[in-house]
Amino acid sequence: MRLEGKVAVITGAGSGMGRAMANLFAAEGAKIVAAEWNEATLAEVVAEVKAAGGEVVGVRGNVALEADCDKIIDGAVAAFGGVDILCNNAGVMDIQQGAAEMDNAMWERVLGINLNGPMYLTRKAVPVMKGGSGGSIINTASVAGVGGGAAGCAYTVSKHGVIGLTKNTAFRYAQEGIRCNAIVAGAVETNIMQSVDPTKMDQAAMARSQTWYAAIPGQLKATDIANLALFLASDESKMINGACIPADAGWTAA
């Protein structure tokens, strides 16, 4: 029960890594606030956690909207009295376009969900954590946040931004009991590609990226990321702050 009594807000909780986090954190004693835009998958993860004996509330929302981010954190406070853990995990992919090919709609959608959302949620959660006993913020970043070959312009910029958000948050609030770390995720078996139309992928960019993709040493499971998030959420990692930890089977080691 490594998270016994703690309140964990997890975005993108309806599928993939977020769903794995919700189930694992609940099994370790956390009270879960599952945030998800998809009503059907939100209902599924809430049912799963409850069936296993966990405490959970679901909050439907789009993290690109500041009002929905406020609703998520307010929901945690209303249901459980505070927030101890925030997992900024919700994300969408782009279609591999570079700056010259990308339109404003793609840029705004990806940056809105992948970067604005974590910032809105962090901004809302930090005062709540400061009013309690501190907390741990875990951002799901990507190898696209430390290099340029893994995705298109919008996704790459969004994840570089998440790394910056992580480091600034860690530095700014370290003396106030709040930690912030990022998981630099590699190739993980999730359904993130369902967030885009695969027929619209930029084929020239995809061809250029094949040299990068060829270096993938192995794919991770969603549970692999959830296990790392559990460690970062727990007191076992109390002296780890501002870290951007690769979970990529060694993809970025070369």
The catalytic site residues sit at 155
Helix (H) or strand (E) holding 123: helix 117-130
Residue 31: half-sphere exposure toward Cβ, Cα within 13 Å:
14
Which contacts qualify for 46-54: CB closer than 8 Å, 24 or more apart?
A: 48/19, 48/22, 48/23, 49/22, 49/23, 52/23, 52/26, 52/27, 54/23, 54/26, 54/27, 54/30
- Residue 216 to residue 158: CA distance in whole angstroms: 21
Residue 217: what residue type? P
